[in-house]
Amino acid sequence: MKLARRRSFMGWVAAAGALACAPDPGDPPMFGDGNNIATVEDRGTECAVPELPNHLNLREQPLLPDPFRSMDGTRITAKEDWICRRAEISAQVQEYELGPKPPPPERVSAAVSGNTVTVTVEDAGRSVSFSATLRPPATGTPPYPFMVTLGGGTGLDAGNTISGLGVAMVELDHEAIAEQVNAGSRGRGKFYELYPDHPAGALMAWAWGTSRLIDAIERTPETNLDPRRVAVTGCSRNGKGALVVGAFDERIALTLPQESGAGGSALWRLADVHQQAWIDGGMVPDYGAVQTLGQIVGENVWFRDSFRLFADKATRLPYDHHMVMGLVAPRALLVIDNTDQYWLDRVGSHFGAVAAHDIWQALGIPSNMGASQVGGHPHCSGVPRAQLDEVAAFVGKFLVGGGTAPTDVLYTDGNFPDQRSPWTDWDVPALE
C-alpha cells in the first residue's frame, strides 16, 4: 500500500450492550483537537474487564482482530467507550505478552545533582534507585517539555530537530531497570530487586521505570522539567520499549517509536506469513527474512516468559500490534520506520500502522497519529530530512504546543500491496 504523504477516571458504568462512562471533570477533554493527555497513569482502572481465558481456550483468529469489538461481542458506538475498550486490550496484552505493570508504589522521590536525576522507589519494604541524565535545550524557558530516550543513537535530534524547539532530552538508564543482554538475563535489574520473581518482561519493566521517573519529576520542580509535556522515543529494541512506555502511561503526550519491528509496529500474524513467503520463494520483491514471534521469544527477555506459549500460535492472540499502538489513542503517536529493514518486516510494520490509524480516525482525530517509512539510510541513523521534518511537526504540535505544521502523514516509499482486504474484515465506525 502506498498512501499519499501528506484507573482514576470516574463514573464508569456497564450499559446494556455497551460500555459507558462519565469523565472526571478534573481531566482534560478526551477527543477534541486539544490536549488529550491525562493527569494520571491509567484512566481505565475502574472499567470492568471480563475474566481472561487461558491461552488454550482462545479461539483462532487468522485475520487482525477488530479493535472496536468489545470482549462481550458488541462493537463500541461512542468515543467515550474507547476508554473501557482500551482497558480490555491493555489487560489482554499484559496477560498474554508483556506481563502486568505494577500499580504506583508507596513512595517515589528524586535527587538532582548537576545533570543527573536519581529516582528512588520504595514499595512493600524494599527500595531501589536508578538514574536519568538531563540535557536542557539551548533555547526556551523552564520548566521545559522533555523527551525521554531509551538508549541513544536514534538520530531523531539530528541538527537539533527536537532540542532546537526548546525540548529537553532525558536519557533514562533503562537497562539498569531491566537488563536485555540475551535470553539468560531474565529477572535482572532494579525492577526485579523491588519485585522479585515478577512475571513482567523487560519492556513492561521499562514502562514502569519511566512512569516512576515521571512521578519523580512531578514532585521535584528543581529538575526544570514540565511533567505535563512528556514524550518518549527509542530505536530498534528500544523502539519496542518506547511504544510500550507510551501505551501504558496516559501522561505521555507523544510517543515516537523508531524502527521497532517485531514487538513494536510489526504485526505477529503478518510476520509469520511473510516469513513463510520468504522461505517458499526466496528473496521475492517485498519480503526478506523477518523476525517472528517464534524467533523473538528465544532471543531476549523483552516479553513475559509465558509468551513463548504463542510461538506457533500467533493467530490465537485476541489482539495484534495495531491494537497495542492503539493503546496510545487519543494521544499522539508517530511511527518512524525504514523501508530497507527486511528483518523488521517492513510490509507488516507499515500495514500495522495503517490499521492502527483506524482507531484515531474513529475517534475523530486522525492527525494525532502518523506513520512514516523511508529507506536509503542505515538502521537507527542517517534519518532523512523529510522524516526529521515530520518529527518536528509532531513535537511542535503535541509536545511544545502551538505548532501548525501538518501531521497527517501516513506514508511508505515501498509501494507495497494493499493489505487491508486479505487481513481485515471491519469497517471504521462513526463513533458518536
Q: Which residues are catalytic?
A: 236, 379
Q: How far apart are CA 95 and CA 296, in angstroms?
A: 18
Q: How far apart are CA 218 and CA 206, in angstroms?
A: 18
Query: How distant, in Å, are the alpha carbons of 55, 97, 209, 280 from that of 202?
Result: 21, 11, 10, 34
Dihedral sign, CA of 390, 377, 133, 187? positive
Q: How far apart are CA 210 and CA 378, in angstroms?
A: 28
Residue closest to 254 by CA, chosen among 226, 218, 229 = 229
Residue type, position 320, single letter: D
Query: How distant, in Å, are the alpha carbons of 12, 64, 225, 314, 370 from that of 67?
Result: 20, 9, 35, 16, 18
Q: How far apart are CA 396 and CA 353, in angstroms?
A: 21
Q: Note the helical H segments in 141-222.
A: 174-177, 190-194, 202-218
Listed in sequence order, the residues at least 6 apart from 36 whose beta carbon sits closer than 8 Å to its beta carbon are 28, 29, 30, 253, 330, 331, 332, 365, 368
Q: Note the helical H segments in 265-369.
A: 268-281, 293-299, 321-326, 346-362
230 forms bridges with which residues in the sheet? Answer: 146
**H or E stretch including 235?**
strand 225-235
Q: Are strands 144-150 and 410-412 parallel, antiparallel or unpaired?
A: unpaired
